Amino acid sequence: MQASRTGLTLGYISFLALLSTTSHAQLPGQWRSQQLEASRKSELIMREAETRKGLLAQYQVMRYAHVRYNDTAFRVIFGQYLSWYQTFIGDYTDASASFSIKQGLTTEDHSSPLAEGGFSAKPALQAIPELAKNYRAVFFNEAHNVPMTRTLTVQVLSELRKEGFNYFAAETLYQTDTRLQGRGYPIKESGFYTEEPICAEMVRTALKLGFKVVAYEATSDATGDAREREQANNVYQEVFKKDPNAKLVLDAGYAHIQKSGGFLGGSSMAEYLHKLSGIDALTVEQTMLFPHEDSHDDHPYLSEVIRKFNPQVPTVFIDGTGKPWTLRSGYDVSVFFPAQKLDRGRPTWADLGGLRKPYPVSGDRCKESYPCMVEARYFDEGMDAIPADLIALDPIPLSATQEEHIRFHQGAPISELYLRPGKYKLTYTDQRAQLLFEQEVTVAGDTATR
Q: How many domains, the chain? A: 3
What does the pLDDT look like over 70-111, one tens digit per residue? Answer: 888 999 899 999 999 999 999 999 999 999 999 999 999 999
pLDDT score at 411: 67
Give domain status of residue 134, yes or no: yes
What domain range includes position 9?
3-98
d(CA 113, CA 450): 30
- Kindly state whether residues 94 and 227 are assigned to the same domain: no
Q: Which of 98, 125, 152 is the last residue of a domain?
A: 98
Give domain status of residue 351, yes or no: no
What does the pLDDT look like over 406-415, one tens digit per residue? Answer: 444 456 789 9
Q: How distant, in Å, are the alpha carbons of 270, 272, 288, 317 from that of 301?
A: 26, 31, 10, 12
Give me the amino acid identity at 100.
Answer: S
- Kindly state whether residues 312 and 363 are assigned to the same domain: no
What does the pLDDT look like over 279-326, one tens digit per residue? Answer: 999 999 999 999 999 999 999 999 999 999 999 999 999 999 999 999
Residues forming beta bridges with residue 170, ordered by sequence position:
215, 251
- CATH number, residue 322: 3.40.50
* CB contact at 8 A, 113 and 119: yes
pLDDT score at 408: 44
Give domain status of residue 74, yes or no: yes
- Kindly state whether residues 234 and 325 are assigned to the same domain: yes
Those residues of the chain that have pLDDT short of 70 are: 1-26, 395-411, 446-450
Residue in 201, 225, 226, 203 with CA at minimum distance from that of residue 214 = 203
Q: Which of 301, 334, 367 is the last residue of a domain?
A: 334
- Kindly state whether residues 278 and 152 are assigned to the same domain: yes
- Kindly state whether residues 282 and 419 are assigned to the same domain: no
d(CA 304, CA 299): 9
- CATH number, residue 378: 2.60.40
Give domain status of residue 450, yes or no: no
371 upstream amide cis, omega within 30 of 0: yes
Q: How distant, in Å, are the alpha carbons of 222, 235, 255, 257 from that of 137?
A: 25, 12, 16, 11
- Kindly state whether residues 118 and 92 are assigned to the same domain: no
- Kindly state whether residues 127 and 24 are assigned to the same domain: no
- Kindly state whether residues 117 and 93 are assigned to the same domain: no
Question: What predicted TM-score, i.e. pTM, was given to this entire model?
Answer: 0.92
* CB contact at 8 A, 91 and 41: no
- Kindly state whether residues 149 and 267 are assigned to the same domain: yes
- Kindly state whether residues 434 and 377 are assigned to the same domain: yes
- Kindly state whether residues 92 and 120 are assigned to the same domain: no
